[in-house]
Amino acid sequence: MKAVDHIEGHTWHGRKGAIENGFRYSIDYVMLDPERPVRGPRLFSRNAANVFSLRDCDHGGAPKDGEGATWARRALSDNGIELDGDLVLLTQPRVLGHVFNPVSFWLCHDSAGVMRAVIAEVTNTFGQRHSYLCHRDDLSPITPSDKLVARKIFHVSPFQPIAGVYHFRFDIREDRIGIWIDLTHDEGGLTATLTGPRQPLTNTSILRSLFRRPFGARRVVVLIFWQALKLKVKRALYRPCPDAPETEVSR
């Protein structure tokens, strides 16, 4: 059995262009191997209700109807990538049963434990999901200095066009994680980061997070709509949500 890690981190978002906006919030993520039984504290459960929990159906496919790691393996294979090492899921947990994950990450390793691909699983507030497959052209190891490119084809914020290019950067260590996403398009773009220490998930850390961020996913959604309101006040252009891309995964 493998342990569950906890990232009590921070996310920062900065809008680029004529109308600027930025914010920084604390946030909880967990890291685990979704293909094996996990060893977690009493206040954490897998596929069952608890203070912190993670359900396979929350990932790998349509929201609340996912296939978990089976989907991730198939997504790699469908794109010509065969990796026989561990999958690690980095995601926000359910808190008291509620969850909303703007972005989760499938970290894909070879048999030597080297990360060679990442699937960024993006969910918008309109109930849609799309994933971006990130890797070097030759599938060589992903290093902290690599900027992995994906073309934006999915509607996330109604105040950003479906255009431009994402640059992803990943620095995943035993003691901390750092992820940087930079979107650039003709109107500007945005930069988003996720950083924080990586430690074993414990009952103490769960209770600490529950005290500091008591509403979990509900808090995340409220903060998203608060920032949207600020952009409307600043007269940022609002774009209605179109249909999701036909393909689940793109590069």
For position 217, what pLDDT does the model report?
A: 72
DSSP code for 198: E
- Pick 70 or 231 by higher pLDDT: 70
Q: Is the pLDDT of residue 214 over 90?
A: no
Residue 58 and residue 148: Cα distance in Å, rounded? 25
Q: Is the pLDDT of residue 187 over 80?
A: yes
Q: Is the pLDDT of residue 1 over 80?
A: no
Report the length, in residues, of the chain. 251
Amino acid found at 216: G
Residue 104 and residue 163: Cα distance in Å, rounded? 21
Structure tokens, 5: 């890690």
DSSP code for 57: G
Distance linking the first and last C-alpha atoms of the chain: 33
The sheet with strand 249-250 has its strands ordered as 148-151, 165-172, 176-185, 188-200, 5-16, 21-32, 87-91, 103-109, 115-123, 129-134, 249-250
Residue 153 and residue 183: Cα distance in Å, rounded? 12
Mean pLDDT of the chain: 94
Q: Is the pLDDT of residue 222 over 90?
A: no
Mean pLDDT within 129-133 = 98
Q: Is the pLDDT of residue 215 over 80?
A: no
For position 142, what pLDDT does the model report?
A: 98
For position 2, what pLDDT does the model report?
A: 81
Mean pLDDT within 184-189 = 94
pLDDT tens string 133-147? 999 999 999 999 999
Residue 213 and residue 60: Cα distance in Å, rounded? 26
For position 220, what pLDDT does the model report?
A: 78
Q: Is the pLDDT of residue 113 over 90?
A: yes
pLDDT tens string 78-110? 999 999 999 999 999 999 999 999 999 999 999
